[in-house]
């Protein structure tokens, strides 16, 4: 069928263009093929499996088990127990009692949280073991055994259920912010009358504290059945052997006596316009949402016509979003951001969402704007030039995926298998997609795309939902006002969209090229080094990790450090102003249209101590050239447009006006202030600081550093043709002006020299305590210290998970971050942060400190071994990534630190005793700051 379909499709297009406005009905009804590289089967017990051999990452595999079961299956007296069941899968199974499962996997370098995790939604529950080394067959057997245990052999011991209650309640506390509450309010109204409106996945807090064991056991034994499950395994292995392994192990899962058929949960229609609002004291900004409810597309037969319809939908949404993006960049735009998309929020129906983010006090303007522009598209449709760009983007994306088909990561295939199992979404495989999709796109014209948009925005059956900060409650329109506005726009004759396109080249007159004055092999990493005639240094690291990717980074000393205190924020925003303004003769919108269908981008900014320029392109010479043209203009012709600046300031004021409503934002600001000893130039942007931003000063500070290329070093990593790259570098970088040498300046910002504790109360809807402690001490910036602090952080994570999360049930998780600063001074730093119940804070905060201090004398060898296994596993994956080598080469050039050559040797030398010595060396004399935010019920 696969070959026949491709042959038929391709045969149609030997006809003249005028003849392929419509595909034959027979072809539209032809079923789509399935990727032959995926082994799909069903065991006698009803369990489905997907197995795909894939070479990247080398020597790694992903193991998933998907349960076509979620919170929607809960009875009224089981709310939250689908999610609770997910947690219990990590607290004992038949073959891995207690915490043995996590312990076993971490001994093999597979880390809980990072590599071992799960999620629960309304319709599905999914568990994963990721980045598993495939060299040892016994480990592969064990991973399949874990999936089999997760199918129906979770222990559900009463003591473990009770221990997990605290963790779940703290997850509840951590997640219930203003955004969560707004989404919950929307779901209740959008799906009113259905079970989806009555389930929020995590469940009510009081019930989670006290439910009887039989409630969760009944849910588990009722719904965790093999006929509702799929095992998905993708990785670097022999597919036949993996299939045999799955059959041997998973066939032992008992067959259900009376197999279940997954029930459907209807969503009733709500004709006409439905309107609802939600306000919250902790909300940072308002949001206007228009939601259309549509039949679930996945219920249609998966034919060529289905794929063609999906492509038409994708084109329409892509063009609508391009319009929204163009509008948001206009002066006095009705919204600072607009988005559109078709989603299956729940399984039963699809929803077309149109979202606008208003400026403070302009909710009605945003509502009018999003209605007007969506109705303009529905009424007048799109124009040919818009469609050409949208098609070019899709074709280029498909082509890139095809070019990289042998370098595609395992994770990319997992989602395809999940969608295929749950909704029957086709899995053609990239080889078929690369042939079929461009052909089908030729059959889709403007009329087809317009029709697709009309189907996604049907008539006047519409749900309008507006969420806002409590302070803007008085500005919310009434139902009558919303209905009047919508009906007036719907019935009006809107003007058609005008698509202005600039056809001239980005650089009309090419610069006079420079030359390569000297060439040499790099000291490390197999690099090539060129010194250009204008003084610029270029380092090239050729790789074949990706066939169609080149990454670039350039830097020069200076950055924001050269700005006076009064000009810090102007310097910080200089790069964003250029991005909003454009380059050369092209404004930002014209730049987006110019680069449509191309893999080429570049940006510039002023970092803390360096001016930086970053870029990425494909390996195709025309796209590499386009990226370098943008680099050239970032130095020679950046735009600082007054209107673009005004628009950017309006957008940022929207972000910052109500940011202090959010307790976590308040906490971050207090923590930053404490860590920098109150230094004014270290404070993050705020509404007050925006008034200090000056366009002329931003331009002056930017041009001071980018008008002079002499200081810059550029690194290119990827699949490069050295001669082509050299010619283009000479033309676009070698031609940049040279100037005087600049150096970064010590800005005087330092961590406090004495202990400091900051405590403050905040009113909250769901009270919690957030606490952070940061240790800091002088330390040398070298390979060993960088590794040791990462190892200490890893060991600390293990201890906090074991002691604070699992034993105490005191938090959803303790986050730690260990690093060494380099500029302006070299210091070791460890940040520890967690959320908890205010009633538990008094006990847990001293525990956080004592566990950290115990590392001085009590590090377990088993924890170090887990860290080593994880480091070596991750290293084996990272060395095959272009982004890894870009950072390694940059680090060596900037600091002389080689994070590659001796890494494995340093990791293998780690042990408990050496880490205890490192702890004493790095943190033995450390000073600490503490910040504690206490939530108080509103």
Domain harbouring 708, CATH code: 3.30.830.10
Dump pLDDT digits (tens) for 577-627.
Answer: 999 999 999 999 999 999 999 999 999 999 999 999 999 999 999 999 999
Number of domains in the chain: 4
Q: Above 80 in pLDDT, residue 8?
A: no
Residue 350 lies in a domain: yes
Q: Are 487 and 525 members of one domain?
A: no
Q: Residues 729, 635: one domain?
A: yes
Same domain, 657 and 784: no
Q: How confident is the model at residue 20 (pLDDT cuts 50, 70, 90)?
A: very low
User: Are residues 728 and 789 part of one domain?
Assistant: no
Domain for residue 722, yes or no?
Answer: yes
794 and 673 fall within a common domain: no
Cis peptide before 57 (omega within 30 of 0): yes
Of 218, 251, 284, which residue constitutes the final position of a domain? 251
Average pLDDT over residues 69-77: 97
Residue bearing tokens 């029709």: 451
The DSSP secondary-structure symbol of 804 reads I
Claim to verify: residue 247 and residue 278 sit in the same structural domain: no
Say whether both 555 and 525 belong to one domain: yes
* Tokens at 246, concatenated: 């799955």
pLDDT in tens, 91-108: 999 999 999 999 999 999
pLDDT tens-digit series, residues 208-225 = 999 999 999 999 999 999
pLDDT bracket for residue 26 (50, 70, 90): confident
pLDDT at 538: 98
Helix or strand or coil: residue 583?
A: strand
Q: What is the mean pLDDT of residues 511-529?
A: 95
Mean pLDDT of all residues in the chain? 95
Let me know if residue 361 belongs to a domain.
yes
Residue 28 belongs to some domain of the structure: no
Q: DSSP of 241-281, one letter per residue?
A: HHHHHHHHHHTTSPPPSS---PPP-------SEEEEEEEET
Distance (Å) of CA 86 to CA 40, 83, 127, 149, 366? 25, 5, 8, 12, 40
520 and 636 in a single domain? The answer is yes
User: Quick one: 880 and 931 in the same domain?
Assistant: yes
Asked whether residue 190 falls in the same domain as residue 297, the answer is no
> Is residue 570 included in any domain, yes or no?
yes
Q: What is the mean pLDDT of residues 748-754?
A: 95
pLDDT at 400 over 70: yes
Neighbours of 820 (CB within 10 A): 19
Q: How confident is the model at residue 13 (pLDDT cuts 50, 70, 90)?
A: very low
Domain span at 315: 273-408+423-491
pTM for the model stands at 0.94
Of 733, 764, 792, the residue at which a domain comes to its end is: 733
Boundary residue ending a domain (690, 718, 733)? 733
Are the C-beta atoms of 421 and 228 separated by less than 8 Å? no
One domain for residues 222 and 319: no
| Shared domain check, 713 and 677 | yes
d(CA 363, CA 352) in angstroms, rounded, equals 21
Q: Where residue 23 falls among pLDDT bands split at 50, 70, 90? A: low
Sheet with 516-521, side-by-side order of all strands: 516-521, 528-532, 537-542, 713-718, 550-557, 610-617, 600-606
User: What digits encode the pLDDT tens for the residues 120-173?
Assistant: 999 999 999 999 999 999 999 999 999 999 999 999 999 999 999 999 999 999
Percent of the chain with pLDDT over 70: 98
Residue 920, pLDDT above cutoff 50: yes
Using pLDDT thresholds of 50, 70 and 90, give the confidence band for residue 741.
confident
> Other C-beta atoms within 10 Å of 511: how many?
16
Residue 746 domain flag: no
Per-residue pLDDT at 22: 59
The predicted-structure confidence for 322-359, as pLDDT tens digits, reads as follows: 999 999 999 999 999 999 999 999 999 999 999 999 99
Other C-beta atoms lying within 10 Å of the C-beta of residue 124: 20
Question: Does 413 reside within a domain?
Answer: no
Task: For residue 7, tell me if it sits in a domain.
Answer: no
- pLDDT above 50 (res 15): no
């Amino acid at each position: 069928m696969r070959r026949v379909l491709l042959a038929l499709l391709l045969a149609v297009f030997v006809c003249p263009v005028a003849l392929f406005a419509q595909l034959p009905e027979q072809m539209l009804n032809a079923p789509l093929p399935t990727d032959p590289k995926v082994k799909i089967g069903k065991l006698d017990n009803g369990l489905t499996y997907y197995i795909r051999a894939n070479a990247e990452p080398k020597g790694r595999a992903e193991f998933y088990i998907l349960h076509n079961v979620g919170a929607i299956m809960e009875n009224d007296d089981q709310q939250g127990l689908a999610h609770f069941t997910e947690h219990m899968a990590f607290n004992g199974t038949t073959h891995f009692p207690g915490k043995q499962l996590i312990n076993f996997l971490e001994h093999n370098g597979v880390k809980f949280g990072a590599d071992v995790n799960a999620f629960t939604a309304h319709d599905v529950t999914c568990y994963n073991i990721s980045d598993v080394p495939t060299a040892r067959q016994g480990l592969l057997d064990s991973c399949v055994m874990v999936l089999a245990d997760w199918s129906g052999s979770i222990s559900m011991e009463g003591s473990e259920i009770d221990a997990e209650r605290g963790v779940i309640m703290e997850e509840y506390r951590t997640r219930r912010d203003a955004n969560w509450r707004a989404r919950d309010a929307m779901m209740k109204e959008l799906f009113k009358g259905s079970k989806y409106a009555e389930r929020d996945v995590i469940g009510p807090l009081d019930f989670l504290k006290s439910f009887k064991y039989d409630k969760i056991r009944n849910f588990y034994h009722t719904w965790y059945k093999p006929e509702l499950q799929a095992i998905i395994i993708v990785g670097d292995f022999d597919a036949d052997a993996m299939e045999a392994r799955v059959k041997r192990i998973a066939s032992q899962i008992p067959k259900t006596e009376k197999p279940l058929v997954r029930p459907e949960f209807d969503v009733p229609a709500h004709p006409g316009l439905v309107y609802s609002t939600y306000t919250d004291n902790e909300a940072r900004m308002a949001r206007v949402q228009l939601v259309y409810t549509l039949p679930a597309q996945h219920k249609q037969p998966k034919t060529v016509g289905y794929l063609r319809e999906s492509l038409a939908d994708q084109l329409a949404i892509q063009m609508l979003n391009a319009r929204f993006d163009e509008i948001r960049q206009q002066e006095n735009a009705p919204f600072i951001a607009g988005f559109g998309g078709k989603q299956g929020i729940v399984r039963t129906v699809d929803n077309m969402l149109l979202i606008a983010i208003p400026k403070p006090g302009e909710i009605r303007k945003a509502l009018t704007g999003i209605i007007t522009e969506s109705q303009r598209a529905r009424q007048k449709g799109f124009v040919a030039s818009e469609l050409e760009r949208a098609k070019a983007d899709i074709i280029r994306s498909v082509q890139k995926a095809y070019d990289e088909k042998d370098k595609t990561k395992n994770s990319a295939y997992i989602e395809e298998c999940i969608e295929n199992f749950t909704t029957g979404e086709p899995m053609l495989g990239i080889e078929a997609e690369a042939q079929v999709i461009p052909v089908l796109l030729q059959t889709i014209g403007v009329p087809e795309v317009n029709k697709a948009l009309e189907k996604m925005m049907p008539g006047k059956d519409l749900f309008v939902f507006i969420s806002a900060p409590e302070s803007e409650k008085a500005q919310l329109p009434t139902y009558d006002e919303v209905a009047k506005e919508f009906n007036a726009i719907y019935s009006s004759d809107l003007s058609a969209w005008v698509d202005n396109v600039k056809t001239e080249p980005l650089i009309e007159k090419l610069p006079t090229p420079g030359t390569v004055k000297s060439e040499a092999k790099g000291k490390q990493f197999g690099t090539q080094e060129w010194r250009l005639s204008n003084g610029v240094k270029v380092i090239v690291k050729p790789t074949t990790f990706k066939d169609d990717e080149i990454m670039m980074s350039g830097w020069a000393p200076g950055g924001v450090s050269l700005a006076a205190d009064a000009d810090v924020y102007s310097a910080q925003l200089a790069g964003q102003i250029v991005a909003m303004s454009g380059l050369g003769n092209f404004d930002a919108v014209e730049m987006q249209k110019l680069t449509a269908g191309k893999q080429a981008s570049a940006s510039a900014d002023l970092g803390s101590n360096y001016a930086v320029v970053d870029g990425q392109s494909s390996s195709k010479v025309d796209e590499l050239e386009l990226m370098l043209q943008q680099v050239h203009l970032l130095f020679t012709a950046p735009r600082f447009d007054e209107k673009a600046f005004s628009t950017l300031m309006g957008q940022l004021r929207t972000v910052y006006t109500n940011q202090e409503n959010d307790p976590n934002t308040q906490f971050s600001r207090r923590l930053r202030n404490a860590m920098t000893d109150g230094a004014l130039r270290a404070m993050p942007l705020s509404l007050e600081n925006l008034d200090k931003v000056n366009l002329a000063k931003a331009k002056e500070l930017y041009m001071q550093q980018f008008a002079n290329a002499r200081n810059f070093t550029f690194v290119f990593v990827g699949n490069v043709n050295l001669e082509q790259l050299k010619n283009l570098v000479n033309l676009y970088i070698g031609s940049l002006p040279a100037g005087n040498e600049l150096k970064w300046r010590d800005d005087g910002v330092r961590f406090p020299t004495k202990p400091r504790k900051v405590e403050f109360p905040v009113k909250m809807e769901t009270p919690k305590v957030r606490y952070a402690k940061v240790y800091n001490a002088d330390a040398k910036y070298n390979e060993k210290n960088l590794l040791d602090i990462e190892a200490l952080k890893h060991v600390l994570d293990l201890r906090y998970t074991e002691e604070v999360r699992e034993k105490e049930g005191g938090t959803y998780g303790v986050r730690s971050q260990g690093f060494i600063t380099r500029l302006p001074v070299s210091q070791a730093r460890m940040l520890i942060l967690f959320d908890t119940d205010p009633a538990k804070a008094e006990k847990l905060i001293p525990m956080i400190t004592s566990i950290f201090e115990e590392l001085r004398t009590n590090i377990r060898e088993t924890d170090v071994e887990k860290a080593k296994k994880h480091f070596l596993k991750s290293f084996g994956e990272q060395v095959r990534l272009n982004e890894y080598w870009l950072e390694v080469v940059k680090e060596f050039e900037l600091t002389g630190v080689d994070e590659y050559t001796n890494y494995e040797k340093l990791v293998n030398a780690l042990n408990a005793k050496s880490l205890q010595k490192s702890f004493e060396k790095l943190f033995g004399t450390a000073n600490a700051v503490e910040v504690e935010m206490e939530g108080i019920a509103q």
